[in-house]
């Protein structure tokens, strides 16, 4: 077999794809943390907590909670299986691009904190 030499450059990843990948990775980590979450124990780094008989998931990008709907930043679930299902649904939505605007808004909010004050 002969090698075919070409002049090619690696395609640059867009910021949208980078945000999707980062959030998808975080969702995968949250699925792993669900194994340790329960009504009597909170897990550091988990987005999930138990209160008044329900579980809640508060997805974040960086340290900013995502606004999933107008003035809504959490998902209520009846049990841990519901939490797994909700996180898997968030993962699918992320891969389809349904959360691009939420992720972009959170990223902009984070970046605004790094701006230098005018001299």
Distance in angstroms (rounded) separating the CA atoms of residues 61 and 42: 20
Is 30 within 8 Å of 46 (Cβ atoms)? yes
Residues in the chain where the model's pLDDT stays below 50? none
Distance in angstroms (rounded) separating the CA atoms of residues 94 and 37: 23
> What does the pLDDT look like over 20-38, one tens digit per residue?
999 999 999 999 998 887 7
Looking at residue 119, its pLDDT comes to 63
Looking at residue 117, its pLDDT comes to 66
For the chain, the structural domain boundaries read: 24-97
């Amino acid at each position: 077999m002969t090698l075919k030499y070409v002049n090619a450059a690696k395609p640059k990843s867009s910021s949208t794809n980078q945000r999707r990948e980062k959030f998808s990775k975080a969702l995968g980590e949250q699925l792993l943390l669900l194994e340790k979450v329960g009504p009597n124990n909170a897990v550091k780094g988990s987005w999930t907590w138990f209160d008044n008989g329900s579980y809640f998931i508060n997805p974040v990008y960086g340290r900013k909670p995502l606004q999933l709907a107008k003035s809504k930043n959490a998902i209520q679930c009846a049990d841990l299986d519901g939490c797994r299902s909700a996180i898997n649904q968030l993962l699918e939505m992320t891969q389809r691009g349904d959360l691009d605007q939420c992720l972009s808004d959170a990223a902009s909010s984070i970046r605004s904190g790094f701006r230098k004050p005018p001299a």
